[in-house]
Structures are given as C-alpha cells and as structure tokens.
Amino acid sequence: MLIAERKPMEEILEMIEDFERILVLGCKGCVTVCCAGGPREVKTLSTLIRMDRKQKGRKVITLEDSTELQCEPESIKPVLEKMANQYDVVLSMACGAGVQAVAKLFPDQLVLPSLNTNFTGIAEEHGVWTEACLACGDCILGRTAGICPVTRCAKSLLNGPCGGASEGKCEVSKDQPCAWQEIYHALKRLNMLHYLKQKPQVKDWPVHPGRVVREDLREVEAT
Amino acid sequence: MNFRESLESGKFLVTAEVGPGKGTDVEHLLKDADIIKDRVDAVNVTDLQSSVMRLGSMAFSHLLTDMGIDPIFQMTGRDRNRLALQSDLLSAWVLGIRNVLALTGDHPTMGDHPHAKPVFDLDSVSLLEMIGKLNSGYDMAGNELKGAPDFLAGAVVNPGADTEAALELQIIKMKKKIAAGAKFFQTQAVYDIDLFEKFIRRVEGLKVPIIGGVILLKSAGMARFMNKNVAGVFVPMPLIKEMTDTKDKVKKSIEIAASIVKRLKDLCQGVHIMALGWEKMIPAVLDQADI
Amino acid sequence: MDNFEPLIAVFSCHYCSYAAADLAGSLRIQYPPNIRIIKVPCTGRVSVNHILMAIESGSDGVYVAGCLKGTCHFIRGNYKAEKRVQYVRDLLSEINIEPERVQMYFMSAAEGNKFAEVAREMTEAVKKMGPSPLNKSSS
Ligand code: SF4
Ligand code: SF4
C-alpha cells in the first residue's frame, strides 16, 4: 500500500489561507490503513483547521467526507457532486495519485494536498512502515526470496552487496538491515543459495511517466 | 615496466593511493607522488572518496601519467549513469590512462552532499562487464566504437566482512567480478593477518592476483575510529596498545606497516599502501620490509 | 482574569479514576467544581478526536485519568492513552495552543485523595494559563 504522512500544519494552513469553505476529502484506501488520510484523520484535520481559524478570529466552514478510492474517478464523482458549490477548495487527504485524479476530473476546481506521499510499503508493526517496492516494472522478487534489492538496498544493487555493511546493517543506516544479507539468509533458508550465482544483471530503468495499456479492457467503438 | 607488465611478470606488486582534495590545489599531491614514484608499480587515484566532493580522479590520473607514474583510475557507479561512465572511460583512455578499478561506491549519505541523487546505474560487476565490452570495440548498447580502449580492469574485495552472510556474499561477488573481467583485486586494509590468511585459503583457487591493503596507522585514535566506522577494517587491540604506548608514533607506524607487508609477502601477490598523507613514509616501510 | 474559572474535561476510566472520584465524594473530599467527568470504559477508548472535540467545544483543559501503569483492566489501555495524549499535545503545538492544556494522569480506584489533588492541580495550572485561545477570541 501507499504510505503517506500529514504535512506540517503550518504548510497546510498557509495553502488554505485565502479560502473560507474547505472540503477536507479523505480516502478510504491505503491512507486509511496507514492512518494518514482516512475518515478519522479528516475529522482531526478539520478540527485543527477550525481551531486555528477560531484563534485568528477568521471564518471557516469545513466539510468532511471521504471517497472510497480517490485514485478512481468513479469514486470521486458522487462525493464531489453531492456537495457541489458548497466549497471553494478541496483539501485532499489522499496520496499524490488521489490528488491528481481529483484535479483531472474537476479541472476547474482547485485541489490541494495535505499529505506527503512517501512510498509503497508494508507495515513492520502498527505505526512503523518501510518501503518495499519502487514499482520498477520488471519484478525480480522470484530470484531474491521475496526481498526486493531494488528498493531495500540503498544502492539498488542487483549483483550482490557492496562492501559497506557492518554487523548486518546497511552503510546508510544502523536501523536498516543490509538487504543483500537478508536475501542471503532467506535463500539459504529456502535452500536456494544457487540463485545468487546467476549471471550479472543490469537494470533497464523505466521511462517516467509510466503508462499501462490493456487493449482487452478498453472501450470498443461500434462500427 | 607499466602496471600491466608488472602484473603479468608475477613480481610482488606495490601500489599506493592518492586522494585528490577539495579544490584545485594539487601541488602537494604531486610532490607526494614524486617521492614514491620509483618505489611503486602503480598509484590509485580515488573517485570522490567517502562521497565527499573533490577534484576528479580522471584529471589527477592524467597528471600522474605526465610524471611517468602509471595510475589506476578508480571509478564508482555512484555519480554517473552508463552514458557518462562509458564516455569518461573513453576520455580517460585518450588521456593516457590504462588501468581502471571498478567500484560500486559509497552512498552519498556518507559524504558532504548527503542529499545528492544516488545513481548506481551500474555496480562494480556491471561496470567491469561494460569495460570488457568497450575493450572489445563496442559500447553497452552494442554499437561499434571507432577506436577501442584496452583497459586493464581490477576490482576490490573486503576480506574482513564481519558476518557469515557478508563474507559468503563477498566471495560470490568476487567470482562474478572475475567472470566480468577483473584481472586483479585490491583489498580493504588488513591488520588481522590470521583472518586474512583464512580468506586467502578460501579464494586461492580463483587464481587471480590479490593485492593486500595496508593503511598506515597514525595514532591509536585513528585505529579506534576505523574499527567503529570503516566497514571491514579491524585493528586488533595489541596494535592499538602499541600505538598508545610508543613515544615515536611515526617510527612505530612504519614498523607496524612493515611487519604487515612482510607477512603479506607470503600470502598474496602485492601490497596496496594507503598512506593517507604520509606518503613520505612509504619508502621506509618498503625498506624495512625488504622490498 | 482573576475570577477566571476554567472548564476542564476529564476522561475518566470506569475501573480506577471514576471509582476514585466516587470515593472522594463519599469521603467528602473537596475538589474544584471546574471539572466535568466523562466516564469511559477504559482510557484506551479515548481517541485523538475525542480530546480535540473537547477543546473545540470550549474546554480550557483536558485530562485523561487512567489506571496506574501495569494495572489496566484491558492491559494496555492506559499506555495507549498516554501516547495519544502526547500526540494531541503535538497537534496543539502545531496550531499554537499550549500543549500543557492536555495531560495524562494515573491513579487507582482507592486514591480518592489523589483524584481531588489532580483536579486541584490541573485547575490551578489552567487558571494560570488563562482561558483557551479558542474561548478568548470568540468573546
Ligand atoms: S523488483 Fe522490487 S521494485 Fe521492482 S517490481 Fe519487484 S518489488 Fe517492485
Ligand atoms: S550495505 Fe547492503 S543494503 Fe546497504 S547499500 Fe550496501 S548492499 Fe545495499
């Protein structure tokens, strides 16, 4: 899932400075699971905005709602249309894709981000997430015992570790295990150490922005 | 004899290392190089060592060729993508540089521009493969070159890897580097000779010249610092104590280095002396080690 | 300002501080009338939004009163509450409201005295801080 964090209040408040009617729009997808932008966080942020304005003696109306998945047009439309003309600005609590989906669907509507989208990751424990996939477009997890060196090795090395690890930790951080040593242990456990001896790989990096086309799913023109 | 000839002759090799500094001042480095000129087979020039922004390796390697020293041009994958790496190698060749040491490189977070974008488009292994391709007259994309280089490529290995996984992975990677064209290996600094010997026994079947690393200990503090911060370097307690107890640090430092060099003579094919500014002492180390 | 009487919301756990309040009552221990007790089944039930709502709707201070550490009926409820209180304090600082307006206390069901003492301590502290900035600007 996508992992995100709320922006500092100062930054959010500055963005909405000129507006009085604010739709705080959460998303019930990833950001609900990582407790950054679900209905609960919408309520928290709206309350903070109202309290800030009250201190400053300035008016504000906060509308609170959440889409099922803000990256899906079908799920944005009904929510925004239901409240059409009741707000001046949409303060999205979705990931960057969600914010952009709203902006694309409502090109005349200003949409602001209230989260910083960090990465695609997994929960280590409740409240701790780590990056797991860089969406490189050519998954090699089958050769690395389910541990991604592209993402979890700080240098995205494909042919084995650098010499920088110390006591099993990556040279960039004592909190981070060396991905290659983890791969080694996992392959050993699975009796697949020979996977490490494959011929050297060079990664062909994808061109951004990516685009996936599935002809079988596209609209058909009746002729 | 240039470095390739020395390597092929099978003689005991001596290499040293210079690290260009931050800025354009190269006078003292050239002076240091001049002192060791007649005692070494080649001099490595580091590539933004420890990810600190400095004068480049290619330019300084070229200055060494002008002095009649055969440089080993160190090249990391940290800062350049495959376009720049290949182009720089061609440039190095026309500047008279003949030897390359292929390294992955430290992460930018280790240096003085910690938020620089890390590149690592190629790592040490794919860098070696690419050098082989250039040598054969083609670039990585398979396009033919008009005029090909003929580099002697080497790599590094860290015999002091501190966990079982790290050591096994080092050896697997070492084999990949050999398959990719590494003709010699230079190692991280060796202090624990018994540990190094164990490593040598594991890899002697690979039949590739290994040049053991020696760092001149300048003080006990430096030894402790390396133990804490430099992966794969471990200075045993007795050596630290010798450094603490001595009245003449320089003399002691030379003595320790010379005794390491002496023992390495029986274990591997050469020594790589990293003097870190104490280049003046290298001749004395070699004299004491009977080289 | 001298006659400012703060309004303080107390999230009080059924198993400890609520019982302690009861005990204080039966023992006729005096405590300030400024506090308003909201009984919860466990302080672990008190969410970030509950505390914020209390502030927004006019409380000058809020505290959560849970069981002594290690004695929560639901094992970790009071520890969770403590972290959430800290989180709310951070949020309040972000919008320039004194974090000290929100506190966490621990007490047992037998500590009627402590309940009264905490109520006095909190009332005094909030009195010193003055009305919540939200209450100031609206008047
Ligand atoms: S290799 Fe890593 S980055 Fe690429 S798709 Fe698989 S998990 Fe994602
Ligand atoms: S220490 Fe391990 S994880 Fe870190 S950069 Fe080196 S190989 Fe990658």
**Which domain does A80 fall in, by range?**
2-118
Name the domain count of chain A: 2
Of A9, A48, A57, the CB nearest to C137: A57
Is residue A84 domain-shared with residue A175, that is, in the same domain? no
> In this predicted model, what pLDDT tens digit does every residue of B240-259 receive, in sequence order?
999 999 999 999 999 999 99
A100 and A141: one domain?
A: no
Residue A206 CB neighbours (<10 A): 12
Ligand nearest to the CA of A161: 2
From B120, B172, B232, residue closest to A197, measured CB to CB: B172
Per the CB < 8 A criterion, the answer to whether B31 and B67 are in contact is no
Mutate to test the pocket of ligand 1, among A2, A119, A120, A140 (most ligand atoms within 8 A of CB): A140
Give me the percent of chain B exceeding a pLDDT of 70.
100
The verdict on residue C64 lying in a domain is yes
A159: helix, strand or coil: coil
For the domain made up of B3-288, the CATH class stated in words is alpha beta
Residues A87 and A14 in one domain: yes
DSSP track, C69-133: TT--TTSSHHHHHHHHHHHHHHHHHHTT--GGGEEEEE--TT-HHHHHHHHHHHHHHHHHH-S-H
Do A166 and A109 belong together in one domain?
Answer: no
Q: Which pLDDT does position C139 carry in this prediction? A: 44
Q: Does the beta carbon of C75 lie under 8 angstroms from any beta carbon of chain A?
A: no
Is A10 among the domain residues? Answer: yes
Q: What is the pLDDT of residue B162?
A: 86
Question: Is A123 a member of any domain?
Answer: no
Based on the domain organization, do A104 and A171 belong to the same domain?
A: no
Residue C90 to residues B79, C93, C105, C108: CA-CA distances in angstroms?
40, 5, 18, 27
Task: From chain B, pick out residues whose CB is under 8 angstroms from the CB of A151.
Answer: none
* pTM given for the model: 0.90
Nearest CA in chain C to A11: C94
Phi, psi of B282 (to 5 degrees): -55, -45
Distance CA A73, CA C120 (A): 55
Strand, coil or helix: A125: strand
What whole-number distance in Å separates Cα of residue C43 and Cα of residue C47? Answer: 9
- Give B51's contacts in chain A (Cβ within 8 Å): none
Q: Please determine, for residue A105, whether its predicted confidence score (pLDDT) is greater than 80.
A: yes
| Shared-domain flag, residues A62 and A108 | yes
Q: What was the pLDDT predicted at C138?
A: 45
Å between C137 CA and nearest CA of chain A: 6
pLDDT digits (tens, 9 = 90+) for A63-89: 999 999 999 999 999 999 999 899 999
pLDDT tens per residue across span B16-58:
999 999 999 999 999 999 999 999 999 999 999 999 999 999 9
pLDDT classification of B161: cutoffs 50, 70, 90 = confident
Kindly report which listed range (B106-110, B144-148, B274-278) carries the lowest average pLDDT score: B274-278
- At A93 the pLDDT is 98
CA proximity to A88, closest of A8, A183, A176, A24: A24
- Say if the Cβ atoms of C91 and A55 lie within 8 Å: no
For residue A222, being part of any structural domain is answered with no
H or E, element range at B159: none
Contacts of B27 (CB under 8 A, 6+ apart): none
**Which CATH number characterizes residue C101's domain?**
3.40.50
DSSP bridge partners of C11 = C38, C64
Residue with CA closest to ligand 2 atom 6:
A162
Which chain A residues are closer than 8 Å to B124 by Cβ? 159, 162
How high is the pLDDT of residue A221? 85
- Cβ neighbours of A171 in B, within 8 Å: 106-107, 110, 231
Mean pLDDT of B204-212: 96
Same-domain pairing of A164 and A61: no
Picking from C48, C49, C95, the nearest residue to A51 by CB comes out as C95
Domain membership of residue A207 (yes or no) is: no
Question: Which run of H or of E encompasses A66?
Answer: strand A61-67
Query: Which ipTM was obtained for this model?
Result: 0.93
Same domain for A183 and A110:
no
Q: Are B153 and B124 in contact (CB under 8 A)?
A: no
Expressed in angstroms and rounded, the spacing between residue A139 Cα and the centre of ligand 1 is 5
Domain boundaries, position C78: 8-134
CB B171 within 8 A of CB A196: no
Q: Is residue A214 part of a domain?
A: no
The proportion of chain B whose per-residue pLDDT surpasses 90, expressed as a percent, equals 95
pLDDT per residue over B213-231, tens digit each? 999 999 999 999 999 988 8
The residue ranges of every structural domain in chain B are 3-288
Query: Ligand 1 pocket, A151 CB below 6 A?
Result: yes
CB contact at 8 A, B132 and B187: no
Question: Is the distance from CB of A82 to CB of A58 less than 8 angstroms?
Answer: no
Q: Which residues of A touch C (CB under 8 A)?
A: 8-10, 13, 40, 43-44, 47-48, 50-52, 54-57
A107 domain-assigned: yes
Task: Return the pLDDT at A220.
Answer: 87
In a domain, C83, yes or no: yes
Q: What is the pLDDT of residue C137?
A: 52
B74 at A interface, C-beta within 8 A: no
Cβ atoms of C59 and C131 within 8 Å: the answer is no
Q: Which of B78, B158, B163 sits opposite A167 (nearest CB)?
A: B163
CATH code (residue A9): 3.40.50.2300
In degrees and rounded to multiples of 5, residue A93 shows phi and psi of -110, 25
Q: Are A63 and A22 in contact (CB under 8 A)?
A: yes
Residue A206 lies in a domain: no
Taking any CB pair shorter than 8 Å as contact, residues of chain A touching chain B are: 154-168, 171-172, 178, 180-181, 184-185, 196-197, 200-203, 205
Angle (CA) C13-C19-C24 rounded to 5° is 125
Residues of chain C with pLDDT under 50: 138-139
In whole angstroms, give the CA distance from residue C56 to residue B145: 73
The answer to whether B132 and B181 are in contact (CB under 8 A) is yes
Chain A residues whose beta carbon lies within 8 Å of the beta carbon of residue B105 = 155, 162
Domain count, chain C: 1
A146/A114 same-domain check: no
- Pairing state of beta strands A128-133 and A115-125? antiparallel
Interface contact flag, A163 B176, Cβ < 8 Å: no
Atom of ligand 1 nearest to the CA of A144: 1
Residue C98 to residue C103: CA distance in whole angstroms: 11
pLDDT tens readout for residues B1-15: 899 999 999 999 999
User: Does ligand 2 lie within 6 Å of residue A131's CB atom?
Assistant: no
Rounded to whole angstroms, the Cα distance separating B85 from B68 reads 25
